[in-house]
Copies of this chain bind each other. A is one copy, B any other.
Amino acid sequence: MKDSTFQPIHEIGYSELKKKLDTYKGMSESDMINDTGDDAVIFSSGAEDIYSISSVIFLEGVHFDLTYHPLNHLGYKIVTAVVSDIYAMNTKPFQLLVNIAVPNMHSVEMVEKFYEGVDAACKDYQVQITGGDTTASHQLLAISATATGKGKKDKVIYRHGCKIGDLICVTGDYGAAIAGLRILMREKSEWKERGDYQFNPDFESYEYVIKRQLYPAARMDVIDMFEEKRIYPDSMTGVTQGLVNAIKNIANASSLGAELFLPAIPISLETRRVADEMKEDVDKYAFYGGEDYELLFTFPENKIGELEDFFDDFAVIGKMTRQKDLLKINTGGDETIHIEL
């Protein structure tokens, strides 16, 4: 008996699977000369353009857990992860390659579900899906995604370029993705302990943090805003591995240090509540949690008012200092924390 809504990959093989996946195109892009269906993807170039490229790899059991990660959200998330690196250079992604290694007892529909998420993300970020490798795996799903972006040479923003006294600005809020992960892991282990299929995990009170973990978005809007308003930071990086790592990126690249004002770091109430429940330090979530996919950038103090005039989803959390390799954290109380960068 064959269930038409669940067809194992081994029934059709990887070539047929790839054909099905090739129908997901994301957003069509004018620079593409060919796309899927050749040995490599070909795209053209304008004389003043520069290109950016970035790649990530996600493994089941390390970067995601299929017991609670819906496959379409996973597809969306890996695109967010890779395009957020492209945005972090003030460039815009236009092309995506996805390699997927999947056990052949998985269903075709599962892989299509994953691609639906990739496709939705590519439509949101205006990126064309241009193919990639579709191959077997023994047990675990492994995925890699590579995005190519485009920009103007004099508008690329690097990690280096910030100066002493520059203000450190961040978009969005921090620590929510790790808070979401904590909740998902707690409910999963509760469910396993009980061995009870009636068990109803409590996700409703944690909607925001869970969404930030499973289905995060990258900050295309910020890059669009820079372009529209013609206001550009001195330096920029993506916040993908926590705030400390992001600050380290820009400080090291300019041989500077940094000082943070802890109470200024944007952390959502829901994230704070989760940390309280877990009896953990919410600042650690923000510093080291990762997967926020927000942007951190620096502006000279006299330019910040200009930015504030038309953009308010950012916070000034500190400034760049002379003392190389040192991150000083002003807690707002008597204590000062020193972290070596």
* Residues of A in contact with B (beta carbons under 8 Å apart): 33-34, 37-47, 49-57, 59, 61-63, 85-86, 88-89, 91, 95, 97, 99-101, 130, 132-133, 135-138, 140, 142, 144, 146, 148-149, 153, 156, 158-159, 237-238, 249, 253
Contacts and interface: CB of A to CB of B under 8 A. Distances in A.
27 contacts: A33-B50, A38-B89, A38-B158, A38-B253, A39-B86, A39-B89, A39-B237, A40-B52, A40-B89, A42-B50, A42-B91, A45-B49, A53-B95, A53-B97, A54-B97, A55-B146, A57-B133, A59-B135, A59-B137, A59-B138, A61-B138, A62-B101, A62-B136, A62-B138, A101-B142, A133-B144, A146-B146
A226 to B, nearest CB: 15
Contacts of A159: 37-39
Nearest to A295: B39
Contacts of A138: 59, 61-62, 140
A158 B40 contact: no
B158 A34 contact: yes
B33 A156 contact: yes
B56 A133 contact: yes
Contacts of A51: 42-45, 51
A290 to B, nearest CB: 11
B53 A41 contact: yes
A177 to B, nearest CB: 16
A146 B145 CA distance: 9
How many copies make up the complex? 2
A168 B53 CA distance: 36
B54 A144 contact: no
A42 B52 contact: yes
A101 B54 CA distance: 16
A43 B53 contact: yes
Nearest to A33: B50
Contact of A39 (B33, B57, B88, B153): B88
Contacts of A61: 138
Contact of A55 (B63, B99, B149): B99
A253 B39 CA distance: 12
A148 B146 CA distance: 11
Given A33-B156, A62-B101, A39 B54 contact: yes
A99 B144 contact: yes
A142 B100 CA distance: 11
A63 B140 CA distance: 14
Given A55-B146, A85-B39, A153 B95 contact: no
